[in-house]
Structure 1
């Protein structure tokens, strides 16, 4: 079920509700770039597990209005607006890649509403004390985040032409990434069904503009607006140790800071292996 929800400041958010409408709710935060049409188990699987997923386009992506200058923390109030519109009091949150910091924001800032949180292949905060933020990171991401931190306008100059090319031919994004993909990631994205889903996801996310992508990058390379150490709900961190897009050191750092976090590190896995870990993570979220 698809619907538009009005945020507290009047912006519109495009929301997709998947699975059993009477099932236990989980908010699913998409990656960067991405959209509400991102990776998720099939509807029949969700019905069998008695769960519903609520996915939405972050501001500036797909059908959601832009929120210029947003921080990672700003996602919490959008989640509250959607939950209230859908009549959901308590819910779990999950996020993969660029969605992971946003899931952690909800866990930190909405302790009375979030039951559990899962963050797959997460980034750590830009100002993470004691972390070499770029260690093990692919050169393209090092360059993009360095520009985002020092020259936000430069991110727009870099991403707008890329988004235009991806909108015309979404295969372009995977082709751009291919030279930096590990062998494990290449195997994952070579699956035709998964590849088709990823391409639809990217095309939808960038269908109107590049500003969701731009604003994500700038938000990740700035203060997040919350401290992961303040999280008090149960948290699962999953990471592939071969990840070059969000290196495993980020999950290790978060695991040391978030009280009682469950940390799962897969030695042979990389970034896109998180797609296979997602169903298990969703089951963990409803373990209580």
Structure 2
């Protein structure tokens, strides 16, 4: 894509599971990547297993992706059907939040703007069916294929201290493996950091500022 756009250098930003892809691009193209930004990022699993301090609901999804993908496919297919046929009903379900989420994330899910954005993203993710989402869920349980310590570009991390979907303790371990890293751990922050306008602005401003000096 960068070649097609005739872009010689770029920065990459990965949110949640996208962190694995941002890290991979940074590892593969160190001469072209100016900055790697990881927000609420996933972390490598040890022996293919999610950390025990991850929310039970998330751990179950990863387990099913490997050992009973047909069950997870039914769940995702039901979700897709509801989003396509009755998005308001799905939004109402999201608004209820969940005990597995911190107060930060449940608060975000009460905002109409956040709900509309979530529906938009899910529709796009399921545009060609649910198989891609299932595949990527399983992919995150596998070895990323490179050593994080071999990433040569500057890495910036934003992560919520109360994130239950990607525990901050695992992110701190990951941060310790990068050669150049700047970490910002948000007090009381959950997984949905990019929905907080102030934080989102800080992330974008950092990219513009830091990448300009590389």
Q: TM-score range by the shorter chain?
A: 0.7 to 0.9
Give the strand-richer structure, 1 or 2. Answer: 1
Match status 1:166 vs 2:83: yes
Match of 1:232 in 2: 152
If the length of structure 2 is used for normalisation, what is the TM-score?
Answer: 0.85
Displacement, 1:128?
7.1
Match of 1:148 in 2: 65
Match of 2:10 in 1: 91
Displacement, 1:257?
0.7
Change in 2 beyond 3 A, CA 1:124/1:262 = same
**Aligned partners of 1:158 and 1:189: how far apart in 2?**
21
String of CA shifts for 1:202-254, please: whole Å, max 9, x gaps. Answer: 12221331122111101101122222121110001111011111111221121
Match of 2:52 in 1: 135
If the length of structure 1 is used for normalisation, what is the TM-score?
Answer: 0.65
Match status 1:266 vs 2:186: yes
**Aligned partners of 1:280 and 1:169: how far apart in 2?**
35
How many residues end up aligned between the 2 structures?
205
String of CA shifts for 1:105-124, please: whole Å, max 9, x gaps. Answer: 11111111111010001111
Query: Where does structure 1 differ by over 3 angstroms across 4 or more consecutive aligned residues?
Result: 149-155
Match status 1:281 vs 2:198: no
String of CA shifts for 1:25-50, please: whole Å, max 9, x gaps. Answer: xxxxxxxxxxxxxxxxxxxxxxxxxx
Displacement, 1:194?
2.5
Relative contact order, CA 8 A, sep 6+: which one is greater?
Answer: 2
Unmatched segments (≥5 aa) in structure 2: none
Match of 1:124 among 40, 43, 58: 43
**Aligned partners of 1:154 and 1:118: how far apart in 2?**
34
Match status 1:175 vs 2:93: yes
**Aligned partners of 2:29 and 2:47: how far apart in 1?**
22
| SS of aligned partner of 1:85 | coil
Displacement, 1:173?
6.8
Task: Indicate the RMSD between aligned Cα atoms, in angstroms.
Answer: 2.3
CA contact 2:36–2:155 (8 Å) conserved in 1: yes
CA contact 1:238–1:251 (8 Å) conserved in 2: no
**Aligned partners of 1:91 and 1:185: how far apart in 2?**
30
Displacement, 1:191?
2.2
Match of 2:27 in 1: 108
**Aligned partners of 1:206 and 1:169: how far apart in 2?**
15
CA contact 1:241–1:248 (8 Å) conserved in 2: yes
CA contact 2:150–2:178 (8 Å) conserved in 1: yes
